[in-house]
């Protein structure tokens, strides 16, 4: 809540973001809001020219703007990238939230589990036999960490996260509520009309600095590992199937689905409701447009769109032709009538 936010001087903010600021360095702000909502005690920012019209009317106490912004104001802090500067300020001064105090007596921690220093565990969280919990890990209320699982230093698991047995999560990860890591992959052998379950005996391995959005599911491998690479950021409601391998620094947006044994190269971007078929590989720096289905291998860098996905230029040509079909059909029918061939 706003009353619990710290206060910070504009001088401190300018120094943090290496900004150019000619105003009152001792003036304080207590929070951050959009240009339209900000008051005199708020920091705001302009990262999109669409909202420049609000500069004249905003009540914000200070505004992060691009270095080359025309005009001048004693409230402006000029920076190279206002959006990145905002992220830095929020992370340092305003991103705090209540944490569990120590280890709740209502938590259940197996005797053989190994806990690092300054671990926080909320009520009704459970840690299984042989699990490893690193230093400064936070397990919120209702988290389940299965037997033999590993959660490394400075990772946060929000309420209701489930990490199945044997799975591994790296350092400084953030896992939001409802995430399930390590449920069985969808594997069946069909014989005589009967679907026989293939035991999924692998694990999930999440590397360092990964963020996973609410209600995302990442299935354990049938054999070996399902892997999410370092620095990848995953939105809410994403499905990653067994033995999929996601590279480092990827962005995967809501309702995307990765089928079994597919591979996504480093720094690729998958927009909302897109998908990658099983055993398909896309290389590094591939961008997949929203609602696109990648059904064959592609090397990057490239932008794909459509279902099935194809290079963007090809997709746009096809869309343009589709829009012309009614006119083409009308002209064809007119020619048929004229020639008497109907």
- As annotated, the active-site residues are 242
Please tell me what DSSP assigns to residue 16: H
Cis peptide bond upstream of 124, omega within 30:
no
Sheet holding 281-282, edge to edge: 114-115, 132-133, 150-151, 168-169, 203-206, 225-228, 245-246, 263-264, 281-282
CA 262-266-268 angle, 5° bins: 80
List the structure tokens of 24: 């009152």
**Distance between CA atoms of residues 179 and 202, nearest Å:** 18
List the structure tokens of 227: 């892997």
Where do runs of H (alpha helix) occur along the chain?
10-16, 82-89, 312-339
CA 250-95-4 angle, 5° bins: 165
**Distance between CA atoms of residues 146 and 131, nearest Å:** 7
The closest alpha carbon to 138, from 126, 120, 165, 117, belongs to 120
Please tell me what DSSP assigns to residue 251: E
- 181 touches 164 (CB < 8 A): yes
The closest alpha carbon to 131, from 118, 116, 146, 121, belongs to 146
């Amino acid at each position: 809540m706003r009353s619990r936010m710290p206060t910070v001087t504009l001088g401190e903010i300018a120094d943090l973001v290496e900004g150019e600021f000619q105003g009152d360095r001792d003036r304080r702000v207590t929070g951050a809001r959009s240009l339209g909502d900000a008051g005199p005690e708020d920091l705001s920012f302009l990262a999109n020219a669409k909202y420049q019209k609000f500069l004249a009317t905003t009540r914000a106490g200070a505004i992060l703007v691009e270095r080359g912004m025309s005009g001048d104001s004693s409230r402006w802090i000029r920076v190279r990238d206002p959006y990145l500067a905002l992220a830095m300020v929020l992370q340092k001064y305003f991103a705090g939230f209540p944490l569990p105090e120590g280890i709740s007596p209502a938590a259940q921690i197996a005797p053989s589990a190994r806990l690092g220093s300054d671990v926080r565990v909320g009520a009704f969280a459970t840690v299984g036999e042989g699990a490893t919990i690193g230093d400064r890990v936070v397990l919120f209320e209702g988290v389940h960490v299965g037997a033999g699982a590993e959660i490394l230093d400075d990772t946060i698991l929000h309420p209701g996260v489930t990490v199945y047995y044997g799975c591994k999560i790296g350092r400084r990860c953030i896992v939001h509520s409802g995430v399930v890591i390590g449920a069985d992959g969808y594997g069946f052998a069909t014989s005589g009309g009967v679907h026989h379950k293939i035991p999924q005996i692998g694990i999930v391995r999440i590397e360092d600095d990964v963020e996973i959005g609410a209600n995302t599911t990442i299935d354990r491998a049938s054999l070996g590992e399902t892997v999410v690479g370092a620095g990848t950021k995953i939105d809410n409601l994403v499905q990653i199937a067994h033995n999929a391998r996601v590279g480092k620094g990827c962005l995967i947006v809501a309702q995307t689905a990765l089928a079994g044994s597919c591979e996504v190269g480093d720094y690729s971007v998958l927009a909302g409701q897109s998908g990658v078929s099983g055993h398909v590989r896309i290389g590094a720096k591939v961008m997949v447009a929203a609602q696109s289905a990648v059904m064959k291998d592609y090397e990057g860098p490239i932008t794909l769109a459509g279902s099935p996905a194809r290079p963007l230029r090809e997709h746009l040509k096809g869309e343009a032709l589709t829009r012309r079909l009614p006119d083409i059909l009308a002209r064809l029918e007119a020619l048929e009538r004229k020639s008497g061939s109907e």
